[in-house]
Structure formats: structure tokens, C-alpha cells
Amino acid sequence: MKLIINADDFGFSKSINIGIIDAYNEGLISTTTIMINMPYAEDAIKLWKQNKKLGLGLHINITVGKPISHNVPSIVDNNGVFNYIRKWENHKFDYIDVYKEVKSQIEKLKQYDVTIDHLDCHHDLMSNTIFRKVFFDLALEYKLPVRSDNEEARYEAKTNNIKTTDYWCSDFYKGNAQYKTIIKYVDSNKEANSIEIMTHVGYIDDDTRNRTSHLSREEEINELKKLKETGFYKKYKLSTYKDL
């Protein structure tokens, strides 16, 4: 089995960046995905360049902060900041606006001389039909693997010969971010050739605390350390999307 343990939100804050790199160096994660429009994205890239075996993907973000592209009215408010809505299923994005911004994010990451490991997205955007179409159109255009976070997306990826994992585990989160959650999920899906486990590891400083409500990131690192103590990482070798 190819097991990918990914850390979302690289670039969000300095303390999250450091936590992700520390988790990688301790052998706890194999890939991360960067929010390229966030204030600490360049800091994240500098850290990654010292740790290039860490798979680096793009965490597509059109919900937090400001866009990289210009003139994308359907995805920003009157202040030019991304709209944040709890449920995205029926939100009316304009395809051209979303395409323009996501493509800009891909191109910006490529400017740092990065081979992009895969694409995924911030918040539950795959539930939106327009976003999902942009996501797959650009995955095909750039020939990039993708995270598929539901059966419909997984079917679409595989139908279009886009590399993705057989399963994706989002259970390791907040109250369920316990090492036993990962063991249970993997043991329940041993027939899979590949699984991605989503994590949000990182450290919490004042800046991070002021900008996100997800503050259990250090606890996730500690749980992954417990996972390592069980011998789990010897049983399942960590992979990246490039290995699929």
C-alpha cells in the first residue's frame, strides 16, 4: 500500500510552516500543500527548498485572503477579499473567475521552480459543481494528480486518467485527531493500493491563533508521534502522489 500523509495549510503562518517541516523531518508526514496567496507562502518555499524530498502540492484557496489574479468579481467581496461561506454547494461562482484564479495560483507556485506534487483545496469546495469542473479541467491541463475527497470526484479523476488515491481519510481532525483513528482507517481499507491521510499539523503562535479557529495542530503532531511509537511507519512506507 502507498500511504500519503499530507499536511494542509503550508504558508498560512510562520508557526504552521515550522511545524510542518518539523513533522516531515521526524518522519511523520510525506507531503504538504501550500496556500500560495497567504502571507507566509514565500517563507514556506524557503523552508521547502531545504527539504525538497517533501512532496509539495497546491492547496487551492479561494475562500481566505485576497486573490492573486485581478477582475474576479464572483469570488470576492466589495473589499476585494475572498468570500467565505459555510456551505458551497449552491454558491454561484463564475467559471471564468475561478479558472483565472486557480490557474494563477498554479502558475505562481511553478515560478518557484517547483514540481507540483498534486492539487487539493481549502475548505469543502469540491461540493461546488463549478469549482469541481475548474479543478479537473486544470488538473488535466497541467497533468497533475489530485486529492479526490468523495466518491464522485474519485470516479471523475479515474475516468479521466488523473492520478488519485483509492481512499482519502478526513477523519483525523479536531476531536478525532487521535493516532488510533489512522490505524483504524488503514486497517479497515487494507485492500486499497493507496490512501491519503489529511492532517493539519503545525505550531500555534499569536498570529496563527488570531487568524484561524483550528488550534489543535500541535496535538496532531503529538498524535502522529504516538503513531510512530506503535511501529506504524515501519509497516506502511510513506509515499507522495508522484509515486502513484
pLDDT along the chain (244 residues), means of 10: 98 98 98 98 98 98 95 94 75 93 98 97 90 97 95 94 97 96 97 98 97 95 98 95 97
How does DSSP assign the chain, residue by residue?
Answer: -EEEEEEEEETS-HHHHHHHHHHHHTTS-SEEEE-TTSTTHHHHHHHHHT-TTSEEEEEE-SSSS--SSS--GGGB-TTS-B---S--TT----HHHHHHHHHHHHHHHHTTS-----EEESSSGGGSHHHHHHHHHHHHHHT--B---SHHHHHHHHHTT----SEEE--SSGGG--HHHHHHHHHHTTT-SEEEEEE------HHHHHH-S---HHHHHHHHHHHHHTTHHHHS-B--GGG-
Domain count, the chain: 1
Looking at residue 157, what is its pLDDT? 96
| 37: CATH | 3.20.20.370
Looking at residue 124, what is its pLDDT? 82
Looking at residue 92, what is its pLDDT? 83
Looking at residue 150, what is its pLDDT? 87
3-state secondary structure string across 11-26: CCCHHHHHHHHHHHHC
Q: Tell me how far apart the alpha carbons of residues 140 and 151 are, in angstroms, rounded to a whole number.
A: 19
Looking at residue 83, what is its pLDDT? 85
Whole domain around residue 106: which residue ranges? 2-243
Strand partners, 33: 57
pTM for this model (two decimals)? 0.96
